[in-house]
A and B are shown apart, each in its own frame.
Chain A
Amino acid sequence: MPEQKVVDADYLLLEAPRERKFITGAQAMAEAVKRANVDIAIAYPITPQSEVMHLVGDIWAQGYLKDYYRAEEEYGAMSAIAGAVRGGARAFSATSGPGLLRGLEAIASWPGHRIPAVLGVLTRVVNAPLSIQPDNVEISYLLNCGMVVLHAENQQDVFDFTLASFVISEKVDVYIPIAVCTEGFFVTHAKGYVNMTPEDMKLPPRDPYKAPVPPTDCEIPPARIQRDAPVQKSNFMSYLIHAVWQQEIWASNIRAMKYIYKYLGGPIEVVNPEAEVFIVASGCAAAQGREAVRYAQLEGLNVGLVKVKSIRPFPEKEIREVLSKAKAIIVPEHNIVGWLAKEVKATIPNNDIVIGGPRVYGGMTLPVELIMEKVYQALGIKKEKKVVV
């Protein structure tokens, strides 16, 4: 078994020395799991996620995890995660697109069941005609579950978000699951530089007694514990039980924000805060948005970027503040429905300045030129289209 020293979570996340490696997003996620003192990981194949759980299987075989198995399908995998976490273990799984939707009944119940698990979501097409290509429409299905949803731009984010998620989800005042999302292939199968904490250091183990609800392990009183009782009656008391429980879940979701500030530098990153036109983007689209800001700079245009790292809790206050003087907002996305544009529109008072798009989906890349077209449109610049003969 590899020797790993348990170190303080704050030290590991904020102060520990880092080593720069050139690795894929899938590797970055597995490397974070390696340092997270995970008890059990449960896998089920689906492209493009499979690579992540192959690598997690490898580190289990090397002795970094205590248990690992390939489940029957995603509903079984996500249900077993719920069982393991109720039993006091720290658990991890990852999935993609159709797998996420297959497991969604279980996943959507995790927050209410107070299951602090970490789930990798490596996005791909979910709708027909079916395809394995990158598309992040599946994130929209996670927005109303109550869980924390983070969206990683690149390999570095994948490492940082995954490792921090184990710490944040187990905070007593949070104690709900976290989805770490990123685009399949674009991030999972492409390499980038990642500054990683030392391989021989890991988080402290999960303490299941430091919790708002007890683990189900027959170790603590009282003898009479029921986890996750359905509310069986049709009367006001039962409506109230459901209502206050869900209010607490969403309050927990908001309470995660302070830890997102502490460990991830806040829910948004702003480039060129004095800009008149802003690109608001998350995940891979933020990387392209970053490039568009550079293009704009070369052309002497005043364009900024708001990268949204946390989709739930959604940084409403922060976004309103940054965009208070914006003249136009462009929201490029890797999906057809424009879920981020809707979030932004629901957040700011003057939402007629939001230009939804450009949107690409079904596996298409997001060329910077598409974003620039929207920039020109926002600034009233007419450009002649270049025709390649």
Chain B
Amino acid sequence: MGLEYVRISPGFEKYMPKDYVDLVQYGQFGKQIDVQQLGQFKELVEEHPMCAGCFMAYFVRVFYAALPNPEDTIVIGTAGCARLALSQAAVPFIYGNYGDTNAVASGLKRALSIRFPDKTKDVVVIAGDGGLIDIGFGMTMHSWFRREKFTTIMVDNEVYGNTGGQESGMSPKGVQLKMAPKGKQFDKINAVELAKTAGCVYVAKLSPTNPKRIAKTIKRAILAARHFGPTFIHAYTSCNIEYSIPTEKVLEDARKREKQDFAFYEWMTDEVKEFFEEIEKKTEEVKA
């Protein structure tokens, strides 16, 4: 149905909240937005209660602007910081139990495929390092082993931010956090290699320094999941509170990490590569 359910029935415009009318008239539904136009259209997520200077909030904002099909997308999250913004977006959002995202997404995607075999319905999980790689690890991995067709985006702030700053499996070795009073004893888990081994068809790792590239990566991950299988993006989204990064230094920190362990990385199967080449060829033909 897509756009049909978003549109306001004629005559009802003046009774709908202005916010909703703006979404339909000046929002992204039914359009492809260039992420560099952020601030010039009605965004899917505007207000959120995340901390000042939070880079995860910025990433989430870019994520929504990048959705290829927002009117037919369902986002799934779990406990953690990201859901504070995800739950306020104009895209259906499911918040289940602790770390259950990839199991819920498996059931949901299958149900939608049964009910709407001829329609495109994108399912995207956005959860943190704790949700996906600690408590939800088994479900994350098995959704990939089963080749479930949805996208998983890990917003990695290297800490349990929402519960007050505890160590996670993705915290760097040696970092002193709550529940790691002597510093973390083991290395950051290599989520990207796990994703490749487990059967993801498109895997990317990034530090959010370049909005255009973030948007392209998100679009690719969603399109590849639609047609081929599980896809995964590992995004560094620092916690400026628990890691004491001054607000004005958040971007600087992201650039620094990009030079260290978060250099942009993109991997895909040959099949997916051909698919994107085909799409890009068509786009160029249209332009020409």
Contact = CB atoms under 8 A, between A and B. Distances in A.
Interface string B145-156: 010000000000
Given A71-B103, A72-B142, A84-B108, A223 B90 contact: yes
B92 A83 contact: no
A79 B114 CA distance: 18
B5 interface: yes
Contact of B106 (A80, A224, A225): A80
A321 interface: no
Given A72-B139, A80-B104, A227 B93 contact: yes
Interface in B80-125: 83-84, 87, 89-98, 100, 103-116, 121
Interface of B: 1-2, 5-6, 20, 23-24, 29, 49, 71-74, 76, 79, 83-84, 87, 89-98, 100, 103-116, 121, 138-139, 141-142, 146
B116 A217 contact: yes
Given A69-B146, A226-B95, A228-B95, A85 B72 contact: no
A10 interface: no
B50 to A, nearest CB: 12
Given A67-B114, A75-B139, A222 B20 contact: yes
Given A79-B107, A82-B104, A226-B87, 20 more contacts: A67-B110, A71-B142, A72-B103, A76-B138, A76-B142, A79-B97, A79-B139, A80-B104, A83-B108, A83-B110, A84-B110, A87-B107, A105-B97, A105-B98, A113-B96, A216-B74, A216-B108, A218-B5, A222-B20, A232-B84
A218 B74 contact: yes
Contacts of B142: 71-72, 76
A68 to B, nearest CB: 10
A218 B97 contact: no
A232 B71 CA distance: 26
A217 B81 CA distance: 25
Contacts of B98: 105
Contact of B112 (A87, A220, A225): A87
Interface in A323-379: none
B182 to A, nearest CB: 31
B108 A87 contact: yes
A44 to B, nearest CB: 11
A230 interface: yes
Contact of B20 (A85, A109, A224, A230): A224
Contacts of A73: 138
A82 B107 contact: yes
A230 B112 CA distance: 24
Contacts of A223: 5-6, 20, 23-24, 29, 71, 90-92
Contact of B104 (A83, A222, A225): A83
B90 A89 contact: no
Contacts of A75: 100, 103, 139
A80 B92 contact: no
Nearest to B73: A218
9 shortest A-B CB distances, which residue pairs?
Answer: A83-B107, A87-B111, A80-B107, A84-B107, A79-B103, A89-B111, A83-B104, A72-B142, A79-B100
A230 B98 CA distance: 11
Contacts of A67: 110, 113-114
Contacts of A81: 107
A51 interface: no
A40 B100 CA distance: 18
B5 A82 contact: no
B94 A86 contact: yes
Nearest to B49: A232
Interface string A245-268: 000000000000000000000000
Contacts of B105: 83
Nearest to B107: A83
A222 B56 CA distance: 27
A88 B109 CA distance: 11
A76 B6 contact: no
A210 interface: no
A112 to B, nearest CB: 11
A221 B5 contact: yes
A340 B72 CA distance: 48
18 contacts: A39-B114, A72-B139, A75-B100, A79-B96, A79-B97, A80-B110, A83-B105, A84-B107, A84-B108, A85-B107, A91-B111, A106-B96, A113-B96, A217-B74, A217-B115, A218-B71, A223-B20, A230-B83
Contact of B108 (A71, A86, A109, A229): A86
Contact of A226 (B79, B92, B114, B121): B92
Nearest to B69: A218
Nearest to B83: A230
B89 to A, nearest CB: 8
Contacts of A87: 107-112, 115
A67 B71 CA distance: 26
A66 interface: yes
Contact of A224 (B79, B90, B121): B90
A228 B98 CA distance: 13
Nearest to A42: B107
Nearest to A206: B115
A257 to B, nearest CB: 28
Nearest to A225: B92
A132 B225 CA distance: 41
Given A83-B106, A83-B111, A84-B111, A106 B100 contact: yes
B69 to A, nearest CB: 9
A66 B115 CA distance: 10
Nearest to A232: B84
A219 interface: yes
A229 B111 contact: no
A83 B73 contact: no
